[in-house]
A and B are shown apart, each in its own frame.
Chain A
Amino acid sequence: MATVIIPTPLRKFTGNTSKLEIKATNIKQTVDELTMNFPDLRKHLLDEQGKIRNFINIFVGNDDIRDLQKENTLVREDSIISIIPAIAGGTA
């Protein structure tokens, strides 16, 4: 099962879990599986058309899926999938 790393801002939608094991063969299945199990995640990851939002980056291993096969990027049993949302904190 591939490992998905959930970033801090999204953990409140995954019951505070930072790592999830997901059975999937590509990124689309991974995201489907995630949003099915954690429905609140959906609007943070996907837009109204079901596409991965612009301010969410997904990496398989060290590489951006936009530089691979996007949603069709293959996922292996030992893949580590990281979700990196935009965060803006600095001074406040």
Chain B
Amino acid sequence: MSYKDIKFSIQELARYDRHIIIPDFGIEGQQKLKAAKVMVVGSGGLGSPALLYLAAAGVGTIGIIDFDVVDDSNLQRQVLFGVDEIGQPKVEAAKRRITALNPHINVRLYNEKLTSQNALEILKDYDVIADGTDNFPTRYLVNDASVLLGIPNVYASIFQFEGQVSVFNYRDADGRLGPNYRDLYPTPPPPGLVPSCAEGGVLGVLPGIIGSLQTLEVIKVITGVGDTLSGRFFTFDALSFQTRIFNIRRNPENPINGDNPTINSLIDYEEFCGLRKPPDRLLKEISAKELYDWQVKGEPFQLIDVREPHEYEIVNLGADLIPLASIRENIDKIDKDIKVVFHCKMGGRSAKAIRELEDQFGLENLYNLRGGILAYIDEVKPELTRY
């Protein structure tokens, strides 16, 4: 069915009046929105404003894929959700919120993880993808699926005070195809080099700003109004309020749609991002319960926390605080004769600290607390503050 056949009820015409009276938008823009199917990948920080504004704008079909449940640490930025929804699947809470906002739209839920196995099947029915995921494997998965399916991918990403937005794999009115994520970043950073938001943090309002800009681009892609960010890469630094727009181009060496493509189906993205590669050597690990046993039995060991001081202030296990960045210069504070247990928030930074110390100083008495302080809180002391 052509968008021109789309009809509106009196209630819808009243609701969308402020769109319809915009000269360059009109009833035609609104028809295109109602005819459109948009998939929002990730209903978190970026997905929250995206889903609210797409629903309010009258996008006819909205898909939401997310396998997570609402957690109290989400509420600082994920404005779709409220206290009553903690513990519920995000997609269901999101649907309730946006259908309460606009009952004239269809919402399809996928309470699962987007994988190489299901991505093409799920995404193929959609006209536009809005990528608001939180990890590199899914970023590359969404990118490659959008290229293989020929669907534009409106990209947004955030970290601490910084946001990025672009429109990838967009074919303009003249039939020219714009760049995609792999033109910009052919391969991902190795694990551990770039912290995730869960480790690095994010200012809560930032995904509100960046997710709204992302939604603006989704609406422009659907309606053809204005010039999209295809071929341009927008960055925003909230601290300096500096915005920049860079020119980006297709790269002939792009492995998925360059001159000699080597990828013609979805791959194992966990492996591609180095997340499944066996470590150089196994670290000695202990579980939270074992650590607790050592503490109860009075076993001699030193406990070192490699997180940042402000994290230590939130919650700590009484360990010696030596942030990861300064671990090597503090080598003389690390006991050489008894077992030394390292921990951080989730176990990643402490593993890095141990590898650095083993590599540089040949220490053999170092143990990593598996799952970090969060595992200790979950398994041993639930009364402590989670963050």
User: Bound state CA distance, A63 and B231, in angstroms?
Assistant: 11
Q: Is the CB of B136 within 8 A of A67?
A: no
Q: Is the CB of B159 within 8 A of A54?
A: no
Residue B365 CB within 8 A of the other chain: no
Residue A64 CB within 8 A of the other chain: yes
User: Bound state CA distance, A12 and B237, in angstroms?
Assistant: 16
0/1 interface trace, chain B 222-240, chain A, CB 8 Å (1 if under): 0000000000010101011
User: Bound state CA distance, A85 and B184, in angstroms?
Assistant: 10
Which residues in A have their C-beta under 8 angstroms from that of B247?
62-64, 67
Which residues in A have their C-beta under 8 angstroms from that of B233?
84
| Least CB separation from B202: chain A residue | A89
Which residues in A have their C-beta under 8 angstroms from that of B275?
none
Supposing A86-B194, A88-B196, A89-B134 touch, asked if A9 and B160 sit within 8 A by C-beta, the answer is yes
A8 interface neighbour in B46, B78, B131, B160, Cβ under 8 Å:
B160
Q: Is the CB of B207 within 8 A of A7?
A: no
Q: Is the CB of B249 within 8 A of A67?
A: yes
User: Bound state CA distance, A55 and B189, in angstroms?
Assistant: 6
Residue B195 CB within 8 A of the other chain: yes
Which residues in B have their C-beta under 8 angstroms from that of A63?
246-247
Residue A73 CB within 8 A of the other chain: no
Which residues in B have their C-beta under 8 angstroms from that of A67?
247, 249
Comparing B11-19, B37-45, B259-267, the segment that makes contact with chain A is: B37-45
With both chains docked as a complex, state the minimum distance between the C-beta of B265 and any C-beta of chain A, in angstroms.
Answer: 22
User: Bound state CA distance, A40 and B186, in angstroms?
Assistant: 24
User: Bound state CA distance, A84 and B165, in angstroms?
Assistant: 12
Q: How large is the interface on A (under 10, 10 to 19, 20 to 34, 35 or more residues)?
A: 20 to 34
0/1 interface trace, chain A 13-34, chain B, CB 8 Å (1 if under): 0000010000000000000000
Supposing A63-B247, A85-B194, A90-B44 touch, asked if A8 and B161 sit within 8 A by C-beta, the answer is yes
Supposing A44-B193, A62-B246 touch, asked if A87 and B42 sit within 8 A by C-beta, the answer is no
Which residues in B have their C-beta under 8 angstroms from that of A44?
193
Residue B349 CB within 8 A of the other chain: no
User: Bound state CA distance, A82 and B325, in angstroms?
Assistant: 24
Supposing A9-B194, A54-B186, A86-B185 touch, asked if A91 and B66 sit within 8 A by C-beta, the answer is yes
Residue B127 CB within 8 A of the other chain: no
Which residues in A have their C-beta under 8 angstroms from that of B202?
89
Q: Is the CB of A92 within 8 A of B44?
A: yes
Which residues in A have their C-beta under 8 angstroms from that of B139?
88
Which residues in B have their C-beta under 8 angstroms from that of A86?
136, 184-185, 188-189, 194
Residue B158 CB within 8 A of the other chain: yes
Q: Is the CB of A84 within 8 A of B246?
A: yes
Supposing A64-B247, A89-B197 touch, asked if A57 and B184 sit within 8 A by C-beta, the answer is yes
Q: Is the CB of A12 within 8 A of B133?
A: no
Which residues in A have their C-beta under 8 angstroms from that of B134?
88-92
| Least CB separation from A67: chain B residue | B249
Residue B88 CB within 8 A of the other chain: no
Supposing A91-B134, A92-B197 touch, asked if A82 and B246 sit within 8 A by C-beta, the answer is yes
Which residues in B have their C-beta under 8 angstroms from that of A12?
325
User: Bound state CA distance, A13 and B116, in angstroms?
Assistant: 36
| Least CB separation from A91: chain B residue | B44
Residue B111 CB within 8 A of the other chain: no
User: Bound state CA distance, A89 and B195, in angstroms?
Assistant: 9
Residue B368 CB within 8 A of the other chain: no
A–B Cβ pairs within 8 angstroms, 7 of them: A9-B159, A44-B193, A55-B194, A87-B164, A88-B133, A89-B45, A91-B43
Which 3 A-B pairs rank lowest in CB-CB distance, beginning with the nearest? Answer: A91-B44, A89-B197, A87-B159
For the complex with contacts A84-B235, A85-B189, 17 further pairs of A-B residues with Cβ separation under 8 Å are A7-B237, A8-B162, A44-B193, A54-B185, A55-B187, A55-B188, A55-B189, A57-B185, A57-B246, A63-B247, A67-B247, A86-B184, A88-B134, A88-B139, A89-B196, A91-B42, A91-B197
Seen from chain B, the residues whose Cβ lies within 8 Å of a Cβ on chain A are 42-47, 66, 68, 78, 131-136, 139, 156-162, 164, 184-189, 193-198, 200, 202, 207, 233, 235, 237, 239-240, 242, 244-249, 251, 325
